[in-house]
Amino acid sequence: MSLPVDIQVLFTDTALLVVNKPAGLATLPDGYNPTLPHIKSVLEQQYGPLWIVHRLDKETSGVLVLARSAKAHRSLNTQFEKHLVSKVYHALVVGIPEWQEKTVSLPLRPNGDRQHRTVIDPQAGKPAVTHLKVLEGFGQYCFLEAIPETGRTHQIRAHLSALGLSILGDKLYGKRNNLHAGGKVHPPQQVQDPQFILTDRMGLHAWSLEITHPLSGERLKFTAPYPAGLMAVLQQLRSPTSGG
């Protein structure tokens, strides 16, 4: 039986199902249209009952772990709640920071404005810490590693926004002039600007996830290959002929 959506399975056993979630597929049911497919509804068709342990934004790709039993679900929930899970994200960002490494510690409050964005709120926000590191620079773009200590909604996106940076293709936290020049969308083959390649996703990818197996107690690390669209942008930016 084949899956109705192309989802790469990274690991599976009686307790875990680990996948490379594609961008454009939600982790949880849509609040406005519950009939839309989401990761749980798609995968349960082949793997049976599944429990959601954590989530990735709809436009974000990468490592996602689901539990295949109530016992595994309880164990994984505890690991996430006690910050015993190590998560690493890679992000293609508009802007070049003056620093090579930086730790951002700014309290966050979800649904903080009319656009339902997570905002910095020193009074009512919850503690949030993100460690950032520049991996590569490409003129007006850079490729960052982001390691969140906490798991707040839109944490990486909100912290980068607070630093004056935005993830390529982020329509919620990004600056409008970083998305489409002059408000127009050009076919990728007609322009060389990488912002026109990521038309249906953000340049944010959950690169790796490290957990303790709920049954064996073994420490496991899973890594998800970059999707084709992100790879195409990186290859273009790395090209000697690139204007980046």
Tens digit of each residue's pLDDT (9 = 90 or more) over 69-124: 999 999 999 999 999 999 999 999 999 999 999 999 999 999 888 888 999 999 99
More confident residue, 143 or 169: 143
* pLDDT at res. 178: 36
Place of tokens 């991996």: 135
Which among 131, 133, 147, 40 is positioned nearest to 85, based on CA atoms? 147
Which among 133, 126, 117, 188 is positioned nearest to 151, based on CA atoms? 126
Q: Is residue 1 part of a domain?
A: no
The catalytic residue positions are: 57
* pLDDT at res. 174: 82
Q: How confident is the model at residue 33 (pLDDT cuts 50, 70, 90)?
A: confident
Name residues whose C-beta falls within 8 Å of residue 32's C-beta, 6 or more positions apart in sequence.
Answer: none
Q: How confident is the model at residue 189 (pLDDT cuts 50, 70, 90)?
A: very low
Q: How confident is the model at residue 243 (pLDDT cuts 50, 70, 90)?
A: low
Task: Return the number of other C-beta atoms located less than 10 Å from residue 61's C-beta.
Answer: 27
Q: Is residue 243 part of a domain?
A: no
Which CATH number fits the domain that encloses residue 86? 3.30.2350.10
Distance CA 63, CA 61 (A): 7
For residue 195, pLDDT over 60 is answered with no
Which among 123, 92, 134 is positioned nearest to 236, based on CA atoms? 92
Full residue range of the structural domain in which residue 31 is found? 8-238
Q: Is residue 137 part of a domain?
A: yes
* pLDDT at res. 4: 54
Q: How confident is the model at residue 148 (pLDDT cuts 50, 70, 90)?
A: very high
Q: Is residue 152 part of a domain?
A: yes
**How many domains are contained in the chain?**
1
Q: Is residue 2 part of a domain?
A: no
What pTM does this model have?
Answer: 0.86
Which among 178, 103, 108 is positioned nearest to 146, based on CA atoms? 103
Q: Is residue 102 part of a domain?
A: yes
For residue 1, pLDDT over 80 is answered with no
Share of the chain above pLDDT 90, in %: 67
More confident residue, 114 or 201: 114
Q: What is the 3-state secondary structure (H, E, C) of the chain?
A: CCCCCCCEEEEECCCEEEEEECCCCECCCCCCCCCCCEHHHHHHHHHCCCEECCCCCCCCEEEEEEECCHHHHHHHHHHHHCCCCEEEEEEEEECCCCCCEEEEECCEECCCCCCCCCEECCCCCECCEEEEEEEEEECCEEEEEEEECCCCCCHHHHHHHHCCCEECCCCCCCCHHHCCHHHCCCCHHHCCCHHHCCCCCCCEEEEEEEEECCCCCCEEEEECCCCHHHHHHHHHHHCCCCCC
